Amino acid sequence: MNAMNTLSADLLRARIAQHLTYTMGKDKAHASTYDWRMAVSYTVRDLIVDSWFEATRKTYEEQGKRVYYLSMEFLIGRILEDAVINLGLHEQIEEVLAEDGMSLMDVVENEPDAALGNGGLGRLAACFLESMSTLGCPAFGYGIRYEHGLFRQRFQGGRQVETPEDWLNQPHPWEFERPEACYTVPFKGHVDTRDGKATWHPAETVLARAYDTPVVGWQGKWSNTLRLWGAHPTELFDLERFNSGDHTAAAAPEALARTLSRVLYPEDTTDSGKELRLKQEYFLTSAALQDILRRFLSEYDDLSLLPQKVAIQMNDTHPALAGPELIRLLVDVHGLEWDRAKTIAQGCLNYTNHTLLPEALEKWSTWLMGRVLPRHMQIIERIDAEHHAATDCPPDLRIVHHDQVHMGTLAFVMASHVNGVSALHSDLMKQTVFADLDRAYPGRILNQTNGVTPRRWLKLSNPALSQVITETIGTGWEDDLDRLKELTEHDSPDLRAALRRAKRANKVAFGNWVQANMGLTLDPDAMFDVQIKRVHEYKRQLLNVFETIARWNAIRKNPGADWTPRVKIFGGKAAPGYFTAKEIIRLINDVAKVVNNDPLTRHLLQVVYPANYNVSMAQRLIPAADLSEQISTAGKEASGTGNMKFTMNGALTIGTLDGANVEIREHVGAENFFLFGMTADEVLERYRKPDHARSAIMASQELQDVLQMLAEGRFNPEEPTRYHGLLDHTWNHDPFLVASDFSAFLACQTKVDAAYADTDRWDGMVLRNIAGSGYFSSDRTIRGYMEQVWDAKSLLNR
């Protein structure tokens, strides 16, 4: 194993004691779990700094090409546990802490999640950073250091209530503040042009200060940097006003500046269109590009070399101002000609699209863009004019039309590579939203199917299964996940039994957590049927709860039948302004209350919805899952990444042919995947049928019974009409075809019951899923980006 884990326990003990005493100023007798966590964190951080410096030095020395991943979100989770696993120090630290009666688990769980993201897009960015380090790809993540990440969710009477998240209310041991890396970001004001040279006179400016976090890769061989920008005022508080007693006004500049990095926007599919969000996007983009150019010019002075040394990835359209901003910096600040500047910018920029949902595609009014970023509005118009001239495109293909700046089109036009995140999604991009642009710029769209890091999502989250894998195929799979294929060669009753034991141990552990935190007792032999993701109509949590009610009805009608006991586990937040999603959450909790207290059925069916689903809860729950619900309306889920994590952890998928489900089914074998529902083409066909919902409901007695119970308020006698809105929405709109896929889903769930009852068949399917999951490592994905998008080389002699 790596050099790191040979680190002696003695040295570790000394280092931890050193930090406890001199960094935390605490002696062991008075140290709290928090003190221990900080001491261990500083100790582990010290061990990463060397590889961090080494990586930086090597990149300068070998004049390597750097990748810059620009993202408004990085859903990191906890950092200490990931660093400990990547350095291979788990056992040693566990041993050292035990001597003082501390457990590594308690220390790790004392760390708040860095919840600087909403869902898939943000978590993907975090997995990508870890894989780029593991592969020795020189890279920087650029994001915003939100003081408040994604809100904390709790349930009040079954309803979601949001409270501010506060990860920075304790010192954060994993960041290095960089006062020297500070850039001025301008806003508003006006532009005047004299003899063809534009000069922007901003009315407001804010300082972007860097906070660096090392991102260590597997075995600590390489570490890259996550640079998060915090907003600071250009001028400190106004002493004059203060002395005149107008304290709030005096503090206004400070407060105004800090709003820029105060809080993460909790929307994950609806473009807020808010001015502050636009300013946040520009704040990130401008600071990042100023930093990129400063670093480049510290090594080279010929800017036309930029595309050879810099690859920039725009994580969706949120950093799409990178195009106009890079041109502004090259033309207005570095004096380049327009054409040269634009060519250089296009040579550096790449754009990943993560959704085709129309409401998620960002469009900024020309009025707002012109007011907040007057110089950029000018540049966007010129880019658009040249785009129009080059493609002779119709008006609706322009970047600017109907007084709106279409950020997807801007990103597409300014990028040399545009990719989707699953094979189906990339095809649908070419057939729908980007069809005309694909024709105008052929060959620009490619696919890079998502992936997840097997370090956090298998090695760290599921030590029981990891041990079975290592005992079966040896080590090395952690950064070469295709090796999991070898498991099939070792298929045997013993191996199947070992996999089953590992799964059961994880289910018992999760059951203990539910007991302790929700007072509910789960049967570890029941099937753990799990749907965890953001709540959104296209992800069809509604279809799942309708099936749950139908299942409850069926059991009540025939309690003596040989039912497969199930625990339906839900997890997920709804955007605070998303009314229907919040209604769905409330319905699930209302159903849970009734079903879990039904003496007739509760040994056969339970519904559990732990509040505040986040990265750490996913790490606890996914290893305990038997069934992974990936039931989105085909054509709506760009990829999904939870689906990949479940497959790696031996959960079987019930799903539609949507996003990466298609490729998961190909890699694990169709016979090991519970497929149901319409394909993306059949969905488009179904939408053409005006009364698609009503006719589907009339064709299913089970669904009619479910909807009748909702109409009567069966789960909410205190307010029987509570779900009449949702009912009407389902009968008359059903925008994501819940009714049309219901019978197929019900039938498929019956197949799942049968499979689960046949333990050897189930175990065989589990083995095939784990063995086929290697492709879904984010290492494979990043290799794809390095070869096909960034033309970046690893500087690690792997």
Question: Of 120 and 610, which CB lies nearer to ligand 26W in the complex structure?
Answer: 120
For the CB of residue 771, give the shortest distance to ligand 26W in the complex, in Å: 23
For the CB of residue 153, give the shortest distance to ligand 26W in the complex, in Å: 17
> Which of 436, 370, 382 is CA-nearest to residue 409?
436
Q: How many CB atoms lie within 10 A of CB 392?
A: 9
The alpha carbon dihedral of 271, 276, 278, 284 has a sign of negative
For the CB of residue 120, give the shortest distance to ligand 26W in the complex, in Å: 3
Give the Cα separation of 113 and 91 in Å (integer).
Answer: 23
Q: Is 190 helix (H, G, I), strand (E, B) or coil?
A: strand
Give the Cα separation of 798 and 570 in Å (integer).
Answer: 41
Give the Cα separation of 652 and 626 in Å (integer).
Answer: 6
Catalytic residue among 534, 692, 722, 768: 534
Question: Of 362 and 479, which CB lies nearer to ligand 26W in the complex structure?
Answer: 362
Q: Is 183 helix (H, G, I), strand (E, B) or coil?
A: strand
- Which residue's Cβ lies closest to ligand 26W? 120
Tokens standing for residue 465 = 């299964």
- Assess whether 533 carries a catalytic annotation: yes
What is the number of H-type helices and E-type strands within the chain? 33, 24
Alpha-carbon distances of 691 from 56, 610, 680, 686, 734, rounded to whole Å? 61, 36, 19, 9, 10
Question: Of 359 and 489, which CB lies nearer to ligand 26W in the complex structure?
Answer: 359
Q: Is 332 helix (H, G, I), strand (E, B) or coil?
A: helix
- Assess whether 641 carries a catalytic annotation: yes
Residue indicated by tokens 């996003």: 659
- Assess whether 521 carries a catalytic annotation: no
| Contact call for residues 661 and 653 (beta carbons, < 8 A) | yes
Quote the DSSP letter at residue 451.
Answer: -
The alpha carbon dihedral of 784, 787, 788, 790 has a sign of positive
Q: How many CB atoms lie within 10 A of CB 238?
A: 18
Please report how the helices 738-757 and 759-771 are oriented relative to each other, as an axis angle in degrees rounded to 10: 110
For the CB of residue 427, give the shortest distance to ligand 26W in the complex, in Å: 15
Question: Of 48 and 638, which CB lies nearer to ligand 26W in the complex structure?
Answer: 638
Question: Of 641 and 769, which CB lies nearer to ligand 26W in the complex structure?
Answer: 641
Tokens standing for residue 478 = 């952690």
For the CB of residue 125, give the shortest distance to ligand 26W in the complex, in Å: 9
Question: Of 511 and 640, which CB lies nearer to ligand 26W in the complex structure?
Answer: 640
The DSSP secondary structure of 599-662, one letter per residue, reads TTTTTTEEEE--SS--HHHHHHHGGG-SEEEE-PPTTS-S--SHHHHHHHTTPEEEE-S-TTHH
For the CB of residue 641, give the shortest distance to ligand 26W in the complex, in Å: 5
**Interface residue list for ligand 26W (CB under 6 A):** 118-121, 124, 267-269, 271, 316, 354-355, 360, 362, 421, 450, 637-641, 659
Catalytic residue among 172, 354, 398, 768: 354
Catalytic residue among 225, 355, 409, 641: 641
Question: Of 288 and 452, which CB lies nearer to ligand 26W in the complex structure?
Answer: 452
Question: Of 270 and 488, which CB lies nearer to ligand 26W in the complex structure?
Answer: 270
For the CB of residue 124, give the shortest distance to ligand 26W in the complex, in Å: 4
Give the Cα separation of 712 and 717 in Å (integer).
Answer: 8
- Assess whether 539 carries a catalytic annotation: yes
Question: Of 379 and 424, which CB lies nearer to ligand 26W in the complex structure?
Answer: 424
Alpha-carbon distances of 207 from 184, 201, 226, 283, 404, rounded to whole Å? 5, 16, 18, 9, 28
For the CB of residue 689, give the shortest distance to ligand 26W in the complex, in Å: 26
Give pairs for 42-45: CB < 8 Å, separation 24+: 42/173, 43/12, 43/15, 43/16, 43/18, 43/19, 44/80, 44/83, 44/84, 44/87, 44/89, 44/93, 45/83, 45/173, 45/174, 45/214
For the CB of residue 560, give the shortest distance to ligand 26W in the complex, in Å: 42
Catalytic residue among 221, 279, 318, 645: 645
Question: Of 108 and 320, which CB lies nearer to ligand 26W in the complex structure?
Answer: 320
For the CB of residue 543, give the shortest distance to ligand 26W in the complex, in Å: 17
Buried/exposed 190-199: b ≥16 CB within 10 Å, e otherwise: ebeeeeeeee
Give the Cα separation of 606 and 593 in Å (integer).
Answer: 9
Give the Cα separation of 484 and 775 in Å (integer).
Answer: 10
| Contact call for residues 149 and 115 (beta carbons, < 8 A) | yes
Q: Which residues are catalytic?
A: 354, 533-534, 539, 641, 645
